[in-house]
Amino acid sequence: MKKMIMMAAAGMLLSSTMAIAADAPAKAATCNACHGADFKTSLMPIYPKLAGQNKEYLVSAITAYKAGERTGTNAGMMTPMVSSLTDAEIEELVTYIAGLPVQ
Ligand code: HEC
């Protein structure tokens, strides 16, 4: 099951890369595979909508996943996604995501 989700995510990554807005940070392409091209049209209900979320909260969540401090059924999916991000890349990503329209 986990393998199927990862394969689906990889396929989505290819198709969603084209839909990314011109001003999106390069690292956003990885996130789009699960969180949707607009960060709110997720493909599966287990992928949270992130568009318009508070910057501080996004930093806190991403930092916790990176440190392995957020655990649980689906949290394991996020850790490898953010483990190699630098603080500057996280800042760039959250600024972009927080500025996206909620509706
Ligand atoms: C393989 C699919 C997948 C990819 C790719 C992915 N995520 Fe996630 N993301 C998830 C899942 C699943 C959760 C919910 C995990 C949980 O239950 O803790 C999540 C949760 C989150 C949360 C927490 C939201 C909240 O309300 O607490 C943030 C922030 C987040 N992701 C950001 C990102 C960013 C930024 C990227 C790109 C660098 C990314 N994600 C890439 C699947 C993914």
Tens-digit pLDDT string for the chain (103 aa):
556 555 555 555 544 444 556 689 999 999 999 999 999 998 899 999 999 999 999 999 999 999 999 999 999 999 999 999 999 999 999 999 999 999 8
**pLDDT at residue 16, as a whole number:** 47
How far apart CA 82 and CA 12 sit, in angstroms, is 18
Nearest to 42 by CA among 90, 9, 1: 9
**Degrees to nearest 5, angle at CA 59 with 57 and 63:** 120
Residue 23: its pLDDT value, please? 81
| CB of 35 closer than 6 angstroms to any ligand 1 atom | yes
- Spell out the residues 6+ positions from residue 27 whose beta carbon is closer than 8 angstroms to its own: 85, 89, 92, 93
Encode 22-44: b = buried (16+ Cβ within 10 Å), e = exposed.
Answer: eebbebbbbbbbbbbbbbbeeee
Query: What is the whole-number distance in angstroms between the Cα of residue 24 and the centre of ligand 1?
Result: 17
**Which of 2, 3, 34, 86 is the best mutation target for the ligand 1 pocket, counting ligand atoms within 8 Å of the beta carbon and taking the most?**
34
Distance, CA of 98 to CA of 61 (rounded, Å): 13
Specify the pLDDT at position 18: 45
State the pLDDT at residue 17. 46
